[in-house]
Copies of this chain bind each other. A is one copy, B any other.
Amino acid sequence: MHSHKDSNPVLEVAILDIKEGLEKNFEDTFNKAQGVIMGIDGYLSHELQKCIEKHNRYILLVRWKTLEAHTTVFRKSEQYKEWKSLLHHFYEPFPEVEHYQLVFGNST
């Protein structure tokens, strides 16, 4: 098994399926909520992208300095409670979140 390198930034990936009809409301709420993650120590950047093929699907990509910045610093913070209360009720099903590290590529 290939172990991850701690010096390599971590990409958080979550495919978000939004309850039918709530896409616009979700986008407006995300627009406000994104400030919450941007203030977390270890946060690098993020993108919310909307699926072309499936109208209620989005992908959230967040880049963190380390895995722990997301799984420990953010998820145990007061800000996470705010993030959850703003966004979690839009998801159906509740998303699986995975973390990745760069192998090859020319964008970060």
Contact = CB atoms under 8 A, between A and B. Distances in A.
Contact of A106 (B2, B11, B23, B45): B45
A40 interface: no
Interface string A1-34: 1101000001101000000000110010011001
B52 A101 contact: yes
A98 B48 contact: no
Q: Which of A30, A55, A100 has the most CB of B within 10 A?
A: A100
Nearest to A4: B52
Nearest to A26: B103
Contact of A51 (B38, B47, B50, B99): B99
Given A23-B2, A24-B2, A50 B101 contact: yes
A61 B108 CA distance: 10
Interface of A: 1-2, 4, 10-11, 13, 23-24, 27, 30-31, 34, 38, 44-55, 57-59, 61, 63, 67, 98-108
